[in-house]
Structures are given as C-alpha cells and as structure tokens.
Structure 1
Amino acid sequence: MLRRIWRLHFWVGLFAAPVLVVLACSGLVILYSQPLDALLNRHLLVVEQGPQTVPLDAQVATATQHADAGSTLEAVTPPDGPHASTRVDFSAADAKGYPQAEANVIQVFVDPYTGAYLGQRDQLSGLVGWANQLHRMFGNDGPHVQLPSLGHLINPSAYPESTIPVGIGNLWMELTATWILVLLGSGIYLWWPRAIEAAKPLLRVRWRAGGRVRWRDVHALTGVVVAVILICYILSGMTWTRYWGENWRAVTATVTPSTEIDAPSTPAKLGDYDRLGRRIAWAATDDPIYASQPAAGAARLSYNDIDRIAKDEHMVPGYSIFPPADTTQDGAVVYGSYTVVNRWPQRVSEQRTLYLNQFTGATITNATAAQDGALSRLTSFGIAMHMGNQMGWLTRISATVACLGVLLSAVTGLLMWWKRRPTGRSGLPGPASESTRANTPKKAMISVTVIAVVLGILFPVFGISLLVVLVAEAIISSRRPPPDHASLVTSTITSRSVEPSPE
C-alpha cells in the first residue's frame, strides 16, 4: 500500500506542482499587495498632506474629465489616510461583465488637497494586477463551458438558470485544487509513523546523511508542517471558484439562510458591483440594492454628503461609495440608493454595507455579517483567513510560511527525483507489479476507494477527472503484454531497486 500511495503522490505532484508554484508566487504578491502597490505606484497613491481638502464632488468631476468618453462611473473611494489619494473607478463602454469576463475597471486618481489629476491605470495591469490574474487562472476571461447548476435543482425560483457558465481557466483551477488535496493527503500518509519505517525521522532532518535522504527529510517535514494550512487554503479558495463556489453559495443559502430585510429593493444586486481588487464580501453578493423613497422636491445628495454620513457611521477608512442606479419597472421609476461598503479584504467583523436614501441620506438598512447564515459566516471567516486579514499579522505570517513551504516542497521534490533516478533513465515510477497488487491489503483499498468516492461526490469535477484517469490506465494496462514468470521476478527485483520506499 505504501508503494502504491507513493506512486500516486509522485504523479499527482508532477501534475499539481506547476500550479502550486504559480499559486504560491502570485499569492505572496497578493498577500503584500498594499505595500507593493504603494511602492510601485507611489505617484498615484501617495500625496503630500495639505491644510484642507477639495470637495469630493469636485474631485469626482476632475476624474470624470480625464476618463474615456462613454465610460460609466462605478465607485468613489475617498482617501483612507492623510497621505492617500482619492480613487474613482470607471468601466469602459464596451467592457464585458460576467459571465463573458471578470469586468475590469479603469482607476483614476486625484489629489484630495489640490484637486489635481494624478493619473490612471487599468486595474489588472502591473505586478499586482497580473498576480490577481494568475492566481485565479484568468477566471472567466476566455472560453466558457455550461455546467449544471445545483442551485437550480435546489431552488429554481432563486436560481432560474439551469446552467452556470464557467471559464476554462477557472475550471482548471478547481480541478487542480482538488487534486492538491489528494497530494496533501497522500503526503501525510507517507509521512505517518509506521513499524516498517522505524528508522525514518518524523520531525527532524538528517542533514549529515546528504543526498536523497536529506532532501526527503526536508520535503516531508516541510510538507507536513504546511499541509494543514494548505488544506484550509484550498477549501476556502474553492468557495471562490465559478462552479463549485456558486453551488456552495446555493447550499449555504438553503441550509442556513440569511436574515431577510423587509424593505423595497431594485432589480440590482450587490454582486453587480463586484470587481477584482474591490470585491464585495462573499456572503453579501446576492444581497439586493434597496430602493430610495423619493422626497418631495428633494434632489440627489452629493458625494460630499454621503462621505460625511459614512464617516459619522464609522465606516472603515478605505470604504467605497457606489452611486445609485435608477430603473423603470412597469412604467414607474424605482430609485436606487447610495451603497457604501467597507474595504475588501476585511475581517468578518468589518463586513458591512450601508444603504442610504439618495434624497435624504436616511439609512435604509445597515447590513453586517450578523444577518448572514451560519455557513455563510463560516465561509467568510475562511476567506478572511485565506487573505491574511482575519487575525492580522498572525494570519499574514502563516500565509507567508505556507507559500514559502510550497516552493521549498517543489524544489526538494525535484531534487529527490534527481538524486534517485537511475543513470540513463527517467526514474518515473511505473505501474505496480502483480505481486505488489496482490499484497495490497483489501481494507486499505476499500478505505482509499471510499475516500475517492466521497471526494468525487463533494467535488464533481474531480470525480469526472478520476474516472477519466482510471479508464485511461485500464486501457493502457489491457494493451500491455502479460509478463511470464521469469520476467515477473526480474521486474519485481528491478522495481525494488528503482522504486525505493518513500524513506
């Protein structure tokens, strides 16, 4: 069993290692995106503090003058500190939204003290933008496939579409993430203490042994230390995937529904404002945008007014203001509301959305994580841990250790293979011999099968890929000529010398 799990671990590692390296490198950039962004784009983000600020509406007007013709103002983010600029987001007239793509925005920056235009950038440009693109494997940008919607089966009225459009890149990410769980589980199994490997150290490295033994110890120790963190990261990251994540959203909304707020709403949802780099809290994506009741003779409030209310309500600095969007239903105008959301990423305690009447500034509702269902709050907690925000520097450090551990595991795994490969051969493990298959304990095979079936049910994309792998291996095995007794003995001896135990 040990030999067969080692072979599984090797081949899954060969498949998953490149993606793990990309995730680790891009994740490190995203983890420290704020200081990196401030360093690389200081001319856009950092300003000299002045005696007084220019009215926010004048700053928005300046940004609008420098935006492309036909673009739509999406959000205004007032400065989050005395040396920060004001950011105004615009979407291009021809910008594609979900499901065709992850809608991109143009960010225009203005000095709040002088009102001067500082410049603009594409949100997905630069080091941080590219890291976001790579980390999600370009999300829904590019070709799509239509996959069945579990939400439609559970609640057709809430999820009227029977399929979910899923980007090929996002689907590949979901598939690889589940195989990484297999990689971590098989790695823990190989590390686990057992009598047959009594000489194998568990929590130390045999530095003086040198060669493959040393790299094996570093690989095993690093892997087992970061495995628990990585499993949590994979599971929390899966909630963002376009397919499994959307189905999980439907499950959480059905099993532990959020508290409904009794107030008139518009056709829009808060998730319509979701953009990379300025995301809406996961649990709030399906929340409606509430309607404003018009006041006689009242005009729409200014951004200055909304900014003052947001500060009085103690919104977290760095919050964004979404302008109201009015719609027409059955010949009547439905007035939207100003929507103020706290900066993302955020702690669960900071999850908050303020809906303000666009004419009076009165609070229509104040939505926080307390109104979310238990599973939604748990998911939000996992996401906050994933982003390194929930427990401040503690989670930032653990995330950094996990990323560096992934890179070290990939390097040591490569060194182990290089040291153990026979001269003139690749050293890639072949299929188990007949004697190895015969000696595999039945209970162990049943346990592995049960685990595979459970994972295949929980993660259908993984289940389908596993079936494909098993069918392909069965076809290859059926075409392989059966060895005679003499060659079988030789093969077994060679296998024992070429395919050493994970020790």
Structure 2
Amino acid sequence: MSGATNAPLSGAYRVVWRWHFYAGLLVLPFLMMLAITGGLYLFASEIDDLAARPLNVVTPGPERVSADRWVAAARVAADGQPVAVRVPDRPDRAVQVVVQPEDGARRAVFVNPYDGQVSGVAGAPLSDTFKRIHSLEIFGGGLNVVIEIVAGWAIILVATGVFLWWPRGRKGGVVSLSTRDPARRPFWRDLHAVTGIFAGGVIVFLAATGMLWSAVWGDQVMGTLRAAGLGRPPAPAAQNWEHAHHAPTPEGLGWTMQGSVLSAPESRLDLDAVLATAAARQVAAPFTVNLPSRPDEAVSVAVRNTRVEDSRTLYTDGTGRLLGDIRYEQYGWAARMFEWSIFTHQGTQYGTINRIVMLLACLAVWMMGISAMVMWWKRRPTGRLAAPVAPPGPRARAAVLGIVLPLAILYPLTGLSLLAAVAVDRLWRLVRRPAAA
C-alpha cells in the first residue's frame, strides 16, 4: 500500500491476510453475481414496465367496468384460480390479475379496466428473475440458507480488509490511487484498498440487511420479534393472525406482515365493494388486492409503497366491510427499523440518491473483484493456490478469532461454514506437510 514501510509483516497481519484471501475466494463470485442482479433490480419498475408495455398500455375510457369482470376474464384467459389483483397508479395502464393454474406456474393476465378485455398473458416479470437469482433461491429452492453464509462471509471479508488497510506505523491508510504504472501490482492493490475503504460500509449494510431474507437467521429474528411484541402489531377486532400455509401466500405485505392472513365471516367476494372500501379509506394506488383462498379468509389490500412510512395493509371481508387498517405507526420499533433497512437496501427509501449510492456499491464490488483477481494472477506461484502462509502461534490466531468469532456467533450458519473452512484448511496443511518433507 501507498506509504508502507519495509518492516516485516507481523504474524497477526499474515494470518488475517490468509483468511481475507479465503473469504474472497469463497464469496467474491457470489458477491459479483449479487451486484449484477441487485443493480438491475434497482431499476425493476422501469424494466418491468418496458418489457410489458405491449400488453400493459391501454387507452383510458370514461369509466371502469366491474372489477369482477376483470377477474372473470382472467380466469378464462389463464385457465386457473385468480389469487391477486394489481391495481396500477396510472390511468393508461392495465390491471394485472395474478392467476394460479393447476400446474403451479403463476401468470399475470393484463386486463383493460375500461372494457374488461384481455390484452395478454405473461409469466413472472423480468424483475422476479433478478430477485430469485439475487436472493440465491436457485441454490436452495424455498429453503434459502446460502444467503446467510454468503452475507456473513462478506462481512468477514470487509472486516479483515479494514484490518489489513489500517495504517500501523504509517502516516495514514491508502485513500487515493497511486500514480505508478497501472500495469504493476501496487496500482491494483491501491485500487482494491481505496474502493474497499470507501464502499465497505455500504457493502456491510447490504450484507447485514440481506440476512433478513435468509431461511435461518431471518426467520428466527422475525419469530422473536413477533413473540416479543416488537414486530407485527396485534390482530385487529380481537382476532388472531394466521400464517398462510396455502400457496401462494399473499403478495406485497412486506417483511413484517409477510404470510399473515386474517379470518373473516364467510361471504361471497364482491371485489367492487372491496375497492370502494379502499377508496373510502384513501388507499392510494398502486396496490395489490390479495383474494382469499377460502370463504372464511379476509381480503388484504397491500399498498405497493417505496418508503417505510407509507407501509399499509387493509383487511376486509368479502363484502368490503373493514376488519383492520394496519399502518406503519402500529409496527413495533424493531419492525420499523428492519423495514427501513429493507427499503434502503432496495434503493427506494430516499429516492434517486438512495438508488445511486446502492448502484455505486454494486459497481464497487465488481471493481474490488477484478482488482483482487489481477493481484492474485500477478503474484501466483506455479502449481499452488497462492494463499498467504499462516504463521504458527496463539497471538496470530487470536487476531482472526477476534474478528470472525463475534460474527460466527451472531450468524450461526456463517459460524458452521467457518468451522468447515478451518477443518479443510487444517486437512490441506496436513496433506501437504509430508509432501514438502
């Protein structure tokens, strides 16, 4: 690094460097994939609108036809059970009725709200593909455990990187690029360090908030908050919340209300009455109306908001009678904090500046990944992985434990993967020792 002395590297420095190398080897490919899909997802609404424009654009008419006609037309067009209705915020956009066919693949039916005609049927929006890859569902199906391991190691990567960057006897750490020849390794080392020190905080924030989507840590936190009364508010009208075990679960409810359904007196669904109640309660579009899966289940109207303060879900029976109006102010303090972190993570909480900061963080991940690969390529010995040599001694090991042990305790799956990495590292050294003798 710029300004470094010729003093030999300490044992603690070398062992932290070794684990920084391994952390990068393990998670950088994942992080670079997350950066691409996350960067694209920042523009999800624009991408989806552009991709669906041939089906989505309608000519506004004097008045809308009955909402029940939307649902009936969608049922025929997609040959399945309607489960949700997405109401747009623009008069020149179609209503989307989400239909669940018997084969299980959900489809969106685009219906002209003014004449009830179907303009087309489409599968999941393009942004859903980005989201599935970004949440690493492709590695775990419905039980996502990989995201917790990757996010935990990403935090370890940043923490060990800060340790390596720390000045230690120099006037200051590297905060600008060297003017040396870019073809030499010091340029790439400085680029890696400068990018990491400026973007590291945002990357840690993204990794920590990404844990909320994990199958172990995220579910445990949600359950703990609910049990302590710090998350989801009490059910309205002296009822109890139920978890939607049927498929699909209601969409658009947010992290706090995810999967929450409410019972209601049995009644025939009158979607026009539900929309009238939403209008009377001044629920602003866009919003999603989740249709009940059984006659004694409430209808939920979820606002598709971009800021945590606008979080809101209405519950009615089939006749439109209001059962509950759940707003942000009713959330527990922990739920508010976590919901805020999710909206900030997705780049919507603070508008354009929020999206720009998150996009820059995505670009920074790629810059660090490329610079790390270039540095490794320039220093690699022939026939070896080129991991920094770990010196013996408890003091050197304590340096790593002081960084990673608290994270391993906080995130159990990260801790288990760390134990596995230590075991593999030990086994590798035992195998190589006789060969070197």
Normalising by structure 1, what TM-score? 0.77
AA in 2 matched with 1:233: L
Residue 198 of structure 2 aligns with which residue?
Answer: 225
8 A contact 1:338–1:357 mirrored in 2: yes
AA in 2 matched with 1:260: P
Q: 2:340 aligns with which of 381, 397, 402?
A: 381
8 A contact 2:27–2:150 mirrored in 1: yes
8 A contact 1:265–1:288 mirrored in 2: no
AA in 1 matched with 2:128: G
CA gap of 1:235–1:73, structure 2 versus 1, over 3 A, is same
8 A contact 2:139–2:146 mirrored in 1: no
CA gap of 1:16–1:140, structure 2 versus 1, over 3 A, is closer
Q: 1:339 aligns with which of 283, 300, 304?
A: 300
Give matches, 1:31-180, under 5 Å: 31-68=42-79, 71-95=80-104, 105-123=106-124, 127-138=126-137, 142=141, 167=143, 170-180=144-154
Residue 392 of structure 2 aligns with which residue?
Answer: 437
The alignment partner of 1:413 has SS state of helix
The alignment partner of 2:145 has SS state of helix
Q: Distance in 1 between matches of 2:270 and 2:218?
A: 37
Q: Distance in 2 between matches of 1:273 and 1:483?
A: 56
Matched, 1:400 2:372: no
Q: Deviations over 1:76-131 (max 9, x none)?
A: 11222122110001112242xxxxxxxx521111122332211111216xx42321
CA-based RMSD: 2.8
Residue 10 of structure 1 aligns with which residue?
Answer: 21
User: How many angstroms does 1:264 deviate by?
Assistant: 5.2
Residue 250 of structure 1 aligns with which residue?
Answer: 223
Residue 157 of structure 1 aligns with which residue?
Answer: none
**Identical aligned residues as a percent:** 29
Q: Distance in 2 between matches of 1:310 and 1:65?
A: 26
Residue 160 of structure 1 aligns with which residue?
Answer: none
Q: Distance in 1 between matches of 2:89 and 2:371?
A: 43
Long gaps (5+) in structure 2: 1-11
CA gap of 1:291–1:427, structure 2 versus 1, over 3 A, is closer
Q: Deviations over 1:246-283 (max 9, x none)?
A: 1111222234444423525478436867669x432111
Residue 309 of structure 2 aligns with which residue?
Answer: 349
Q: Distance in 1 between matches of 2:322 and 2:337?
A: 27
Residue 278 of structure 2 aligns with which residue?
Answer: 310
Matched, 1:428 2:386: yes
Long gaps (5+) in structure 1: 96-103, 143-165, 328-334, 488-503
Q: 2:257 aligns with which of 277, 284, 295?
A: 284
Q: Distance in 2 between matches of 1:474 and 1:141?
A: 28
Q: Distance in 2 between matches of 1:356 and 1:418?
A: 62
Q: Deviations over 1:24-57 (max 9, x none)?
A: 1111121101111112221122223334333322
Give matches, 1:350-365, under 5 Å: 350-359=310-319, 361-365=320-324
Q: Distance in 2 between matches of 1:19 and 1:474?
A: 25
Task: Specify which structure has the bigger relative contact order, considering alpha-carbon pairs within 8 angstroms and separated by 6 or more residues.
Answer: 2
User: How many angstroms does 1:347 deviate by?
Assistant: 1.8
Q: Distance in 2 between matches of 1:73 and 1:128?
A: 21
The alignment partner of 2:176 has SS state of coil
Q: Deviations over 1:411-446 (max 9, x none)?
A: 111122223335x565612532xxx435x8x2x643
Residue 8 of structure 2 aligns with which residue?
Answer: none
Residue 4 of structure 2 aligns with which residue?
Answer: none
